[in-house]
Amino acid sequence: MDQIVEQVEQMTDLEAITLRHSVRVYKRVRIEQEKIDVIRDEIDRLNEKYHLHIQFISKAGDVFSGLPSMLAGWKNVSSYIALVGRKRDKLDELCGYCGERLVLLAQKLDLNTCWAGMFKRKEVKAEIGDNERLVLVIAIGYGVTEGSSRKSKPVEFVTDVREDDMPEWFRCGVTAALLAPTAMNQQKFIFSLDGDKPTVRTSANGPFVRVDLGIVKYHFEAVTGKKVY
């Protein structure tokens, strides 16, 4: 376990953000128990801090089976993270924020991931209380490849801050946010700056835009160390 923890600490969040790409096709290789333990420890911390019910499910079963999943490109997914929480405002955003923290942790553990928008919800084996909701799941395992980068919008397309008024730390944060996975690569967010206070909002409607908002917030904060409002 100590060796695994040391491995995680050797990679920065920015390095993990840069290296990580979405992967839908996996090897038939089980994740080592030591790595699962590290992920579950982090899940416990996030659940306690944000009052969520995120769960690591080691056997994917039929969650990624059937024609829709095949058309989406899923293959050999063995495990997943179920993003579950009490029904409330900003649940989607919180799950995006905490889920992406786990995605980057997985990258530091040499694991591959992909946020799943198309899967069999009825086959998800997570515990979901009467007042809880399953938001999304994240596929996790050893990918056949490391995935590939996708086209991003220019920085000026996702911020209303003028070039001359943009601090370097803010530009770095927005650049990191543009590397975040978003549904169908829609990148529907706008960063603003009020003094030294960064904010972000959705720029249009779209599938899972609130989850995306949480994901990009985490990228920005992980790189800049500044809270986004």
- Checking if the pLDDT of 1 tops 80, the result is no
The predicted-structure confidence for 143-197, as pLDDT tens digits, reads as follows 999 999 999 999 999 999 999 999 999 999 999 999 999 999 999 999 999 999 9
Q: What percent of the chain has pLDDT over 70?
A: 100
- Tens digits of residue pLDDT in 75-128: 999 999 999 999 999 999 999 999 999 999 999 999 999 999 889 999 999 999
pLDDT of residue 71: 85
Contact between 17 and 113 (Cβ < 8 Å): no
| pLDDT at res. 79 | 98
Asked if pLDDT for residue 29 goes beyond 90, the answer is yes
Query: How many Cβ atoms are within 10 Å of 160's Cβ, its own excluded?
Result: 11
Q: How far is 81 from 112, CA to CA, in rounded Å? A: 12
Whole-number pLDDT of residue 9: 84
CATH 3.40.109.30 occupies which residues in the chain? 155-224
> For residues 133 and 92, what is the distance between their CA atoms, to the nearest angstrom?
10
pTM attached to this predicted model: 0.96
Four-way CATH pick for 2-141: 3.90.1300.10, 3.40.109.10, 3.30.390.30, 3.10.450.50: 3.40.109.10
Name the architecture of domain 155-224: 3-Layer(aba) Sandwich (3.40)
